[in-house]
Structure 1
Amino acid sequence: MARVALVNLASLPMPGNEPIFPIGVRCVQDALDLAGHETRLIDFVQSPGAVDDLAWAAESWDAIGFTIRNIDPIDLSCDGHVEHYVRFMNRVRATLDEAGGQRPLLVGGGPGYTLFADQLRGLLGFDVGVIGPGEQAMLDILAAPEEYRGLAKNITGRRYKGFLTEVLRHPEALMKVYTRFEGAMIGVETRRKTCYQGCVYCPYAYLNGDNSGDLKPLELIADELRAIHAAGIRRVFFTDGIFNSELRFAKQVVQLITELSLPGLTWSAYFTPKPFDDEFAALLAESGVEFVVISPDSLDDRVMKLLGKTFDTRHVDRCLERCRKHGIPARVNVVFGGPGEDDTSVRNSIKYINSKLHDGELVMHVGYRVLPQTGMARQLGISDEGLLAPTFYPFHPDTFSWIIRDLENRFMPPSVLFNFMAARSASKRMAKVPLPGDSLNSAPTEFPYLALSRELPLA
């Protein structure tokens, strides 16, 4: 059996980074523990001193796995995280060199790594990287570690059968340290099934890989929720791409939550307005759901279609009507600046917001981060390497002015206005790169491109 350190790089202190409970690396750790390996999770929220004191790296590990959740905050006003990862990994390798002896196998993975695996593996100095699900891949690697030492390649993760048979129980101390953050939630995964929608900005299908459409048995979900509640945690977020993509199963999960009747437990998830029937809304109302999050991303039907949505504003109307009928709070995500966005579409979205959304229901952003393996990336014809620095889909420079002109002040409290102005300022500093000739006619001829503030340190 192997000794393995698992390092949550997503917990590094970086500008714009908001650490989220590391459910992905915890799934990998749990799989390794069940197989008899000895593991330790290095999380810098739980152990802040481990960022500077790398004595843990020099211990006698057979392998050290590093997980990357995000490449950048996907926000116009923020820089990327890659340079921070590179600098940290340079320090880790220097520590290992000073320690002498055989260096442990260095493995990279996580959703952010998966998107840029070919670029990040060499940049960060990993022996091998994992694309997609990590549990079974790590088990495979540890079964024959010498086959991967110095491999300098990425491998594709495989389906992990333990998802259907094993209860995932997180260390209580780790859960509690993350719930110190305002608004913090613990993530719970109910299914591993690729989202059926084809949104042009979303890489979920690529991230999930070959998942065989597994739905976690209800008894495992119940045991996980009981353990979370027993640790004193009261807020849960179901991390599925779309919670109600399979309405029958979603109803079963919601009914389970109601039947568990865990005092004070509240939960949320990402929902789609379709399917979302009255029976489902009634079940939600009885379950302690905190709010329903839907992401039409635009409230102009033409732009919604260009975004790849399988629903339109009529379905948003019905979803909101059902939520209000049953007293369920809602959050509506709108991102201005997508394909085909113009003055008319912005005006249409804002007309809908002003007339149909209640105070506190709007979650607003400007600019779509272009990610590899998405329809947006294919439209722009940019290589994965070219997307490593924060890169945003083309939008008209007057978009900010159009929003300010028409949006009612109740949707622009000081905190939102401050972030909005920061994004507007950042967009003006971006370099402009010509679009390919076959891009959408309604898009500008250039798109904003936010380069890293300085060159990356050499790996």
Structure 2
Amino acid sequence: MARVALVNLASLPMPGNEPIFPIGLRCVQDALVRADHEARLIDFVENPAAVEDLSWVTEPWDMIGFTIRNIDPIDMSCDGHVEHYQAFLDRVRQALGDRKPLLVGGGPGYSLFADQLMERLGFDVGVVGPGEQSMLDIVADPDRYRGAHQNITGRRYDAFMTEPLRHPRSLMETYTQFSEAMIGVETRRKTCYQGCVYCPYAYISGDNAGDLRPLELIAEELRAIHASGIRRVFFTDGIFNSELRYAKDVVRMISELDLPGLTWSAYFTPKPFDDEFAELLAISKVEFVVISPDSLDDRVMKLLGKTFGTRHVDRCLERCRRHGIPARVNVVFGGPGEDRESVRNSAEYINSRLEDGELVMHVGYRVLPETGMARQLGMADPELVDPTFYPFHPDLFSWIIKDLDSRFMPARVLINFMAARNASKRMTKVPLPAERQDAAPTEFPYLALSRQLPLV
């Protein structure tokens, strides 16, 4: 039996960080415990004092794993998290002294920048992709990895399809104290079929074998969550209805469970989304349907890699409203091909067809490795570790403010806009290579790449 500490670095107090329930780390902990290892989760939301009091570090651990969900908040007005991770790892090593437990890195953020983070954080081994089976492999033969400073690829974990995941009640209650908090639940491990140019989802997912989780396991998890007093669930699938028949089965199961007060949400695509599905959603008391066209200009949507257009968004919203289902529509201005006309078209759609509270708006696409965006720009992964955004016209903020109805621009949004605009002005500008101009259509041939000065 091995003794393993699993540290949720995503729960560190950092500017711009909004901790969410650590479902990935819980999956790893559950796998280790099922294999008769001792595994303790160190979470700084559940135990804030553990950030400064590192007495837990000096316990006789055989291995300490660190999960990194994000390397920055993907927000133009916020700095990155990597320096915070480095500083914390330095403190952990100092507290360890002569002790030499195996240090392991992992998580979705780590998977995207594994080579660069290995160099900066100095783990013995890192896991790219799903971590359960890899952690079992590592703990079975730790000497193979000690001092290796290498990354390995995560493998399929068979128990995902056979065993329910039950979370400690105290941890769930800790995270549901936040007003917008939800508990994540996986229904599948299958790569999203869409080819959005900004999304690294397939790269992070790794070997998933297209697994669709048995309904009885999902039902057991939901019953346990409900019994603990939790009432809000978010299904963490890339796209909940990417396989409509299975999605309908999951929604029917939720309705049949009839858990009082339980509500849920997920990311949806407006296609496929038929009337039967909308009716099932309404019966299941879905909290809201989140769709991400990211632009409401058909030309830009195509450049983003969307497999649907505004007509599909129209039909989805019409079905939601007919069945009384609240909707949220994500729009991110500043992507490939964004110009004065496309901003105007998106704003006209929002003003005329979205209701108050339906718009979720952002500016600027964070460029991530292994994405179409990174390939368009011809940028190597090491150049992307610092907050890096796709190039956009310097007047973009002014266009948005001018075109959008004031009901979509409350004071809170305007303040965020001003912060993002100021941040964009303080970023290094890097010219795009001439041969890349056609691949990355934009009026403003510069890339916002890492800040020259720290923001205050």
TM-score bracket for the superposition, by shorter chain length: over 0.9
Going from structure 1 to structure 2, the CA distance change for 1:290 and 1:452 (only over 3 Å counts) comes to: farther
Describe the SS at the equivalent of 1:146. helix
1-structure distance, mates of 2:283, 2:111: 38
Going from structure 1 to structure 2, the CA distance change for 1:153 and 1:351 (only over 3 Å counts) comes to: same
Going from structure 1 to structure 2, the CA distance change for 1:31 and 1:111 (only over 3 Å counts) comes to: same
Query: Which moved further from structure 2: 188-197 or 426-435?
Result: 426-435
2-structure distance, mates of 1:166, 1:436: 51
Q: Deviations over 1:342-387 (max 9, x none)?
A: 0000000000000000000000000000000000001111111110
Specify the alignment match of 1:417 in structure 2. 414
Amino acid at match of 2:365: Y
1-structure distance, mates of 2:344, 2:29: 48
Is this contact kept in 1: 2:233–2:263, CA < 8 A? yes
Query: Which moved further from structure 2: 435-444 or 309-318?
Result: 435-444
Specify the alignment match of 1:119 in structure 2. 116
Residue 207 of structure 2: which of 207, 210, 216 is its match?
210
Specify the alignment match of 1:91 in structure 2. 91
Is this contact kept in 2: 1:79–1:453, CA < 8 A? no
2-structure distance, mates of 1:418, 1:223: 43
Is this contact kept in 2: 1:194–1:213, CA < 8 A? yes
Specify the alignment match of 1:153 in structure 2. 150
Q: Does 1:259 align with 2:239?
A: no
Q: Deviations over 1:13-41 (max 9, x none)?
A: 00000000000000000000000000100
2-structure distance, mates of 1:441, 1:350: 21
Q: Does 1:404 align with 2:431?
A: no
1:297-376 pair list within 5 angstroms: 297-376=294-373
2-structure distance, mates of 1:406, 1:372: 33
1-structure distance, mates of 2:31, 2:263: 28
Is this contact kept in 2: 1:192–1:212, CA < 8 A? yes
1-structure distance, mates of 2:452, 2:189: 34
- Cα deviation for residue 416 of structure 1 reads 1.4
Q: Deviations over 1:192-217 (max 9, x none)?
A: 00000000000000000110000110
Describe the SS at the equivalent of 1:237. strand
Describe the SS at the equivalent of 1:40. strand
- For the aligned residue pairs, the C-alpha RMSD in angstroms reads 0.9
Is this contact kept in 2: 1:339–1:443, CA < 8 A? no
Is this contact kept in 1: 2:427–2:452, CA < 8 A? no
Is this contact kept in 2: 1:79–1:452, CA < 8 A? no
1-structure distance, mates of 2:217, 2:151: 32
Query: Which moved further from structure 2: 77-86 or 116-125?
Result: 116-125
2-structure distance, mates of 1:378, 1:264: 46
Specify the alignment match of 1:286 in structure 2. 283
Specify the alignment match of 2:446 in structure 1. 446
Specify the alignment match of 1:277 in structure 2. 274
Is this contact kept in 1: 2:388–2:450, CA < 8 A? yes
Amino acid at match of 2:389: F
Identical residues among aligned pairs (%): 76
Residue 429 of structure 1: which of 418, 426, 430 is its match?
426
- Cα deviation for residue 420 of structure 1 reads 1.4
Q: Does 1:382 align with 2:382?
A: no
Specify the alignment match of 2:78 in structure 1. 78
What is the number of residues matched between the two proteins? 451
Is this contact kept in 1: 2:21–2:172, CA < 8 A? yes
Specify the alignment match of 2:36 in structure 1. 36
Describe the SS at the equivalent of 1:450. strand
2-structure distance, mates of 1:257, 1:427: 44
Residue 234 of structure 2: which of 229, 232, 237 is its match?
237
Is this contact kept in 2: 1:269–1:292, CA < 8 A? yes
Q: Gaps (5+ residues) in structure 1?
A: 455-459
Q: Does 1:9 align with 2:6?
A: no
Is this contact kept in 1: 2:336–2:441, CA < 8 A? no
- Cα deviation for residue 452 of structure 1 reads 7.3
Going from structure 1 to structure 2, the CA distance change for 1:63 and 1:337 (only over 3 Å counts) comes to: same
Is this contact kept in 2: 1:389–1:452, CA < 8 A? no
Describe the SS at the equivalent of 2:389. coil
Describe the SS at the equivalent of 2:388. coil
Amino acid at match of 1:326: H
- The normalised TM-score by structure 2 is 0.98
Q: Gaps (5+ residues) in structure 2?
A: none
Specify the alignment match of 1:170 in structure 2. 167
Is this contact kept in 1: 2:428–2:452, CA < 8 A? no
1-structure distance, mates of 2:250, 2:239: 13
Going from structure 1 to structure 2, the CA distance change for 1:452 and 1:80 (only over 3 Å counts) comes to: farther
Specify the alignment match of 1:457 in structure 2. none
Specify the alignment match of 1:143 in structure 2. 140
Q: Does 1:131 align with 2:147?
A: no
Is this contact kept in 2: 1:80–1:452, CA < 8 A? no
1-structure distance, mates of 2:451, 2:376: 20
2-structure distance, mates of 1:69, 1:441: 31
- Cα deviation for residue 430 of structure 1 reads 1.0
2-structure distance, mates of 1:95, 1:383: 35
